[in-house]
Structure 1
Amino acid sequence: MTTAKLPEGGRGAPAADEGYERGLGSRQVQMIAIGGAIGVGLFLGAGKIIERAGPSLVFMYALAGLVIFFIMRALGELLLYRPVSGSFAEYAREFLGPYFGYVTGWTYWLMWAVTGMTELTAAAIYINYWWPAVPQWLSALGFLLLLFGVNLISVKIFGELEFWFSMVKVTAIIGMIVIGVGVLTLGFSAAGDAATPANLWSHGGFFPHGVGDSLMTLQGVMFAYLAVELVGVTAGESTNPEKTLPKAINTLPWRIVLFYVGSLIVILSVVRWTEFSAGVSPFVAAFGRIGIPLAAGIVNFVVLTAALSSCNSGMYSTGRMLRALAANSEAPKVFGRLSARRVPAAGIALSVVVMSVGVVLNYLVPEKAFGYVMSVATAAGIWTWAMILVSHIRFRRRVAAGRLPASSFPAPGGSVCSWLALAFLVFVTVLTALDADARVSLYVGACWAVLLSAGWAVSRRGEARGGGPAPEYAAGAQ
């Protein structure tokens, strides 16, 4: 791969092949993308929003999935124009300015750090299902150290572990859909007499609580889609990004239709929506009604792998994002160095420290902590997606003006779809402000903005005194 030229007016990040071990093959990149599209938001979070939206949740997931596809195609066009690790921050820096790159990089780091807090706590709770005598903090600490070690060893091992984590999730959902379809067509289970597609509209209608209540679930729906953009972070370590990235992104629509829309249609047909409630996985409830032996244990294993997969991905992405920030003197220089195994060990270590604090907090106030952290993670994710869209719009303008070469993977609809997706994200943000429980994320966001602005001022003063971009990064130091 040839080294990408420096962006107009930018300080530049390394090209995709500089410094990192390019150890992610085609199957691993695609599975990382699939794993990003199937998380704890679907396995656990759907129960609460089914209770609020009823069968209309299927439509909410489909609508949000369409917007996510627009976002990913916009990202794909940028990735094939200039594949870089830490892509979201780098594109924001190039097309909106250094400050936006700085804010985007740190905000994406925050998203994964706070998400990791809930994932580790969830994983410890799942272990208690089998071994209740094991202290919850001990399980969480054990998983944290295990995943930390995996991420320090090699990107190849990370990719392989994430591949199998994702395989478990994919297999479980496909199996559930097949069994559910069998129940609906053959009626061979305990749920056979009540399992019917009419459950989608027979108990209060498709919008049982009205369109307004259904729309208010969009924040929870968007939380379930967090991490689909992770495929962009893999650009710097993909063996052949020109082929693997478009393939991974173009498979997103059928993954959304199958894993989200398809699975929800099946479970809401097998079990009527009124029987689901917050705090209970709809998948556990559906399998229990179907009458599969050890159903709860099977699903418990699946959601455990989902939690570990998400935390594993979080450690991976945060280290890369901090290294990109260090390259531009927007994070301490130590985060810009690679270890002997060519991984950003210092950045991963900082994320692990923050996640360990979250384990303690979630243990102390588990009920409220999960909801609050989910809101904060979603708000941070919406900012990241918005920066991708605005960067894409700016990129298309420069291409049209002849200032930049066109990407080999243009987004369908050009900037129009990016504008539509951006308007949707603004709409979800407004809904968040109207929800008393979710509104806390906006307060945290305001505090985060003040903190980042202060950090920006400090970093600029340091650069003015001769700091400059991290030389270790620019040289691809090991």
Structure 2
Amino acid sequence: MNNKHKNNLSHGLKSRHVTMLSIAGVIGAGLFVGSGRAIAEAGPGAVLAYVFAGILVMLVMRMLAEMAVASPDTGSFSTYADRAIGKWAGFSIGWLYWWFWVLIIPIEANIAATIINTWMPEWDIWVLSLIITLVLTATNLASVKNYGEFEFWLALVKVLAIVGFITLGACAIFGLLPDAPVSGVSRLWDNGGFMPNGFGAVISAMLITMFSFLGAEVVTIAAAESDAAEKQISRATNSVIWRITLFYILSIFIVVALVPWNDPRLASQGSYVTVLEILGVPHAKLLIDVVVLTSVTSCLNSSLYTASRMLFSLSKRGEAPACARYTNSIGTPIYAVLLSTGAAFLTVIANYLVPSKVFGFLMASSGTIALLVYLVIAISQLRMRKKLVAEGKTINYRMWLFPWLTWGVILFISAVLIVMLFRPDHQLEVISTGVLSLLVVCSGLLVSRRHAKAKALATAQGGIPVALGR
């Protein structure tokens, strides 16, 4: 039987692919460039913002891993929300997550094209952006093994860059670089204190950092296409703690220890470039541009992969176009990839055709999707654990201190969303995401009702319920 009719994904990801994907998931351009914004807002206290955000991500990943180990699925948290909360919840969070990554694709492509344009000014940015997107679409249309291999090497470059940066920064702090103009950690408090703008600014900076962390959950999606899903998920989740500590918290600590938090270069050119320039590293901007280019290419590659797999999962459940569930002879959901890429191109066209305020609303609508995803994961795990226990199933990978930590995460995220709603600089994000979420939830309730009617009709006729859309 042809695999196209089976609608099954391949299992071509190797152990090293999944391991490196889990590492790559939390390293984006936000670390190399965007972290400067968080530091400029919160001062050295930005370290606390990354610590708080990191703890939240670790807890959420632990909850997600508990469900994923019990039932690996390429739909990940969307599938678990479907089972634990209801079809409307799985539908809603799946489509919101797909929308987030579809918007990321043109953003990352434009960043990559802008960097290349500085080296090749004769090429227009839109042409370079188109070429980059088409090349990575081709990569995603190939076997998942090729995708994993490509992502492995991109992620390796990012990891080596961060390790090199931390090593160089540590040598400077301990005075091991004789020509370095700065050493020690006095800049943690000598420009207005550790939290010069107060604790509120730290919380605000945390909201900036949350965008950087979204992507850690991709490993539970990718692991479903590996031969040892349960083992890979648990291993990757266990390594989240040291990865966040090493890549984010230690990196940010080095930045705020060596650079005055109010240095205007932090916000304008990024934290990594600023540190390297202060330490007198030649061609600092070029070096970081290469790393950022690699990083955004990796993120773009993963965005296409993640969006297509979520669309594939939604289609398998009858909640997306039927063609998105078809796979070719090598197990690649080609139509899901093409539909996701096509939607990304439409957002680019919209940027040129519709008023800027309309496109700004579309972009802002993805602002708090990360927090909504985490909230749904926590609620799903809370309810899924009870179902598994009631069914007498063994839970091999458990959330810590259940249910207290799970409830703590739910309350914390809810509080953060309320704080954002009353902060002028985040109101648009909350309202835009809220409007989009309301529309999607209403659609989810309609789809859920259709499924219920179809199931009732099939049962009444003595047949087997069939997912809608086939």
Change in Cα spacing, 1:261 to 1:139, as seen in structure 2 (3 Å) is same
Instruction: Measure the CA separation in 2 of the matches of 1:147 and 1:189.
Output: 44
**Which string of whole-angstrom CA distances, capped at 9 and with x for unpartnered residues, describes residues 245-268 of structure 1?**
111110111111110010111122
- Is the 1:103–1:452 contact (alpha carbons within 8 Å) kept by the matching residues of 2? yes
2:462 counterpart residue number: none
Choose the corresponding residue for 1:429, options 392, 417, 423.
Answer: 417
1:245 counterpart residue number: 233
1:443 counterpart residue number: 431
1:310 counterpart residue number: 299
Change in Cα spacing, 1:360 to 1:40, as seen in structure 2 (3 Å) is farther
**Which string of whole-angstrom CA distances, capped at 9 and with x for unpartnered residues, describes residues 253-311 of structure 1?**
11111100101111221222121442321111111111111111110011111111111
Choose the corresponding residue for 1:419, options 384, 407, 411.
Answer: 407
Choose the corresponding residue for 2:224, options 236, 240, 262.
Answer: 236
Q: Any idea what SS the aligned residue of 1:278 has?
A: helix
- Is the 2:320–2:469 contact (alpha carbons within 8 Å) kept by the matching residues of 1? no
Change in Cα spacing, 1:172 to 1:263, as seen in structure 2 (3 Å) is same
- 1:28-427 paired onto structure 2 within 5 Å: 28-186=17-175, 188=177, 192-275=180-263, 276-360=265-349, 375-400=364-389, 402-427=390-415
Report the Cα offset of residue 470 of structure 1: 5.8
Change in Cα spacing, 1:369 to 1:114, as seen in structure 2 (3 Å) is farther
Report the Cα offset of residue 381 of structure 1: 1.6
Instruction: Measure the CA separation in 2 of the matches of 1:45 and 1:368.
Output: 23
Normalising by structure 2, report the TM-score: 0.90
Instruction: Measure the CA separation in 2 of the matches of 1:455 and 1:340.
Output: 33
Q: RMSD of aligned C-alpha atoms?
A: 2.6
Answer with 42-51 or 181-190: which moved more: 181-190
Instruction: Measure the CA separation in 2 of the matches of 1:363 and 1:127.
Output: 22
Change in Cα spacing, 1:374 to 1:140, as seen in structure 2 (3 Å) is same
Q: Any idea what SS the aligned residue of 2:262 has?
A: helix
Report the Cα offset of residue 437 of structure 1: 3.4
Report the Cα offset of residue 229 of structure 1: 0.6
Report the Cα offset of residue 422 of structure 1: 1.8
Change in Cα spacing, 1:81 to 1:232, as seen in structure 2 (3 Å) is same
Change in Cα spacing, 1:258 to 1:311, as seen in structure 2 (3 Å) is same
**Which string of whole-angstrom CA distances, capped at 9 and with x for unpartnered residues, describes residues 420-474 of structure 1?**
22222112212321233332222322332343245336645765578941687xx
Q: Which amino acid aligns with 1:332?
A: P
Instruction: Measure the CA separation in 2 of the matches of 1:188 and 1:460.
Output: 63
Q: Which amino acid aligns with 2:433?
A: G
**Which string of whole-angstrom CA distances, capped at 9 and with x for unpartnered residues, describes residues 361-391 of structure 1?**
66899x9999877754341121111111111
Instruction: Measure the CA separation in 1 of the matches of 2:349 and 2:193.
Output: 42
Q: Any idea what SS the aligned residue of 1:274 has?
A: coil
Instruction: Measure the CA separation in 1 of the matches of 2:375 and 2:364.
Output: 16
Instruction: Measure the CA separation in 2 of the matches of 1:409 and 1:186.
Output: 44
Q: Which amino acid aligns with 1:456?
A: G
Instruction: Measure the CA separation in 1 of the matches of 2:358 and 2:297.
Output: 19
- 1:1-20 paired onto structure 2 within 5 Å: 19-20=8-9
Instruction: Measure the CA separation in 2 of the matches of 1:168 and 1:362.
Output: 32
Answer with 104-113 or 128-137: which moved more: 128-137
Q: Which amino acid aligns with 2:78?
A: A
The alignment covers a number of residue pairs equal to 454
Change in Cα spacing, 1:308 to 1:81, as seen in structure 2 (3 Å) is same
Change in Cα spacing, 1:157 to 1:373, as seen in structure 2 (3 Å) is farther
Normalising by structure 1, report the TM-score: 0.89
Q: Which amino acid aligns with 1:106?
A: W
Change in Cα spacing, 1:363 to 1:128, as seen in structure 2 (3 Å) is farther
Instruction: Measure the CA separation in 2 of the matches of 1:409 and 1:174.
Output: 30
- 1:449-468 paired onto structure 2 within 5 Å: 449-453=437-441, 455-456=443-444, 459=447, 464=453, 468=466
Instruction: Measure the CA separation in 2 of the matches of 1:51 and 1:198.
Output: 17
Instruction: Measure the CA separation in 2 of the matches of 1:428 and 1:118.
Output: 26
Q: Any idea what SS the aligned residue of 2:267 has?
A: coil
Q: Which amino acid aligns with 1:204?
A: G
Report the Cα offset of residue 59 of structure 1: 0.8
- Is the 2:181–2:279 contact (alpha carbons within 8 Å) kept by the matching residues of 1? no
- Is the 2:87–2:448 contact (alpha carbons within 8 Å) kept by the matching residues of 1? no
Change in Cα spacing, 1:416 to 1:454, as seen in structure 2 (3 Å) is closer
- Is the 1:121–1:359 contact (alpha carbons within 8 Å) kept by the matching residues of 2? no
**Which string of whole-angstrom CA distances, capped at 9 and with x for unpartnered residues, describes residues 160-179 of structure 1?**
11111111111101100101
1:469 to 2:467 alignment: yes
Instruction: Measure the CA separation in 2 of the matches of 1:361 and 1:195.
Output: 49
Q: Any idea what SS the aligned residue of 1:132 has?
A: coil
- Is the 2:141–2:332 contact (alpha carbons within 8 Å) kept by the matching residues of 1? yes
Report the Cα offset of residue 235 of structure 1: 2.9
Q: Any idea what SS the aligned residue of 2:268 has?
A: coil
Q: Which amino acid aligns with 2:250?
A: G
Report the Cα offset of residue 63 of structure 1: 1.2
Report the Cα offset of residue 337 of structure 1: 1.2
Identity among equivalent positions (%) equals 31
- Is the 1:187–1:193 contact (alpha carbons within 8 Å) kept by the matching residues of 2? no
Instruction: Measure the CA separation in 2 of the matches of 1:181 and 1:62.
Output: 19
Q: Any idea what SS the aligned residue of 1:194 has?
A: coil
